[in-house]
A = this chain, B = another copy of it.
Amino acid sequence: MTTDPRSNADISSPPSDSKQRVSQMMRQLQDKICQTLESVDGTSKFQQDEWERQEGGGGRSRIIRDGSVFEQGGVGFSEIWGSELPPSILAQHPEAAGQGFYVTGTSLVLHPSNPFVPTVHLNYRYFEAGNVWWFGGGADLTPYYPFVEDAIHFHTVLKQACDAHHPAYYPVFKQWCDEYFYLAHRQETRGIGGIFFDYQDGQGPLYRGSNLEGASALYSNQLSLPVQRTWNEVFAFSRSCSEAFLPAYIPIVERRQSTVYGEHERNFQTYRRGRYVEFNLVHDRGTLFGLQTNGRTESILMSLPPVVRWEYGYQPKPNTPEAELYETFLKPQDWTNWASSTSSKV
C-alpha cells in the first residue's frame, strides 16, 4: 500500500454536501430497484407510504404484495436525524457521544412466492455525527432450494463490484457477511451470504465485526490492516456495491420463477422463513437501531415474511434437496472458487 500524502484530517472530513449526496444516492437506489422489480413481477405495483419521524426525519416505505413473483417485498428509504445516536451504535463509536447525528439508508427484503426463488436482503446506510462518519451495508441471499450456479452468480457479481475498488474488500466483507448473518442458536448461516461491511470511515481496519465468537480467527492480520480512503472513495465503493444488487439477483429470479412446486416445497419455504424472523428479531442491528430510535414500526418490520411456520423438531430427510441446503448452503462456502475448491470432491 502506498503512503497517502494527505493528513488524517483531510482523509476523515466529509465534504460539506455529504448528506445531500448520500441521500440522493439512496433515493435513486430505491427508485431504480422498485422500477425493475415491478417490471420483473409484471402484475403488482409498489404502494408507497411517506412518513415523518417526530424527532426529525422521515422516509418512503414501499410495499409490493400478491404479485406473480413477489408474495411480499418491502423497499424502504429513510433519512433521520437527532441529538444523539442510540446506545447500540455509541457502544461501537463512542467518539460520536454528545453529537447530533444524521443517518440515511435504503433497505429491502423480498419474499418471492415460489420456493425456488431465493429471498434476498439489501441494506446500504450512512452515518454522520460531527466529524465522525461511516458507511455500512451489504446484500445477502437466502435460498430455500440449493442451486450452486445461483450462489456462484450472486457472489461473483458482488465480488466484481468490490474488486473494482480494492482487492481486500470482497474477501473481508464476504467473511464478515457469513459471520454477521449467522444464527448461533441454530448453528446455521442465514443463507449463502454475500457481502456485509460496517464502520467504513476511511481510516480504521476494514474488519470490525464481533458477532460470532472466535470469528477473528478467520481473518488474517493482513485483512484487518487499515486501508486509508477518502470520503469520496468510500462513497463510490458503497454506490458500486448497491448498483450490483440488481445484476446479482434478477437473473436468479428469472431462472427460477417458473419452476413448478407443490405443497411440500411451500411448507419447507414457510418453515425456513421462520429463521428469517428469528434473525431479524434476535440479531439484526438495523432492526434494533430502528426500534431504539422510535422508528416507524411498520417500516422496520416490513422485512418480516407474510406467512411463516414454526415446527418443533423439524429435520430434513437424508438425501433430499432440503438436506443439501442444510449440509452445504447453510455453512460458509468459498462460492467464487467453488469449481476449483470442489473439483477434488466431485
Contacts and interface: CB of A to CB of B under 8 A. Distances in A.
A185 B282 CA distance: 15
A104 interface: no
Contact of A308 (B61, B185, B298, B309): B309
Contact of A305 (B63, B281, B310, B313): B310
Interface in A183-238: 184-186
A291 B49 CA distance: 36
A6 to B, nearest CB: 42
Contact of A281 (B63, B186, B278, B302): B278
Contact size range, A: 20 to 34
Given A185-B297, A291-B185, A297-B186, A312 B74 contact: yes
Contacts of A304: 274, 310
A304 B65 CA distance: 25
Contacts of A309: 306-308
Nearest to A183: B297
A281 B291 contact: no
B186 A313 contact: no
A311 interface: yes
A278 B281 CA distance: 7
Contacts of A301: 185, 278, 310
A259 to B, nearest CB: 24
Nearest to A315: B298
A72 interface: yes
Interface string A24-46: 00000000000000000000000
Lowest 9 CB-CB distances: which A-B pairs, in order? A281-B281, A304-B310, A185-B297, A308-B308, A185-B291, A63-B312, A302-B312, A281-B282, A298-B313
20 contacts: A49-B313, A61-B312, A185-B291, A185-B297, A185-B300, A186-B297, A274-B304, A277-B277, A277-B281, A277-B308, A278-B281, A281-B282, A282-B282, A282-B291, A298-B312, A306-B310, A307-B308, A308-B308, A308-B309, A308-B310
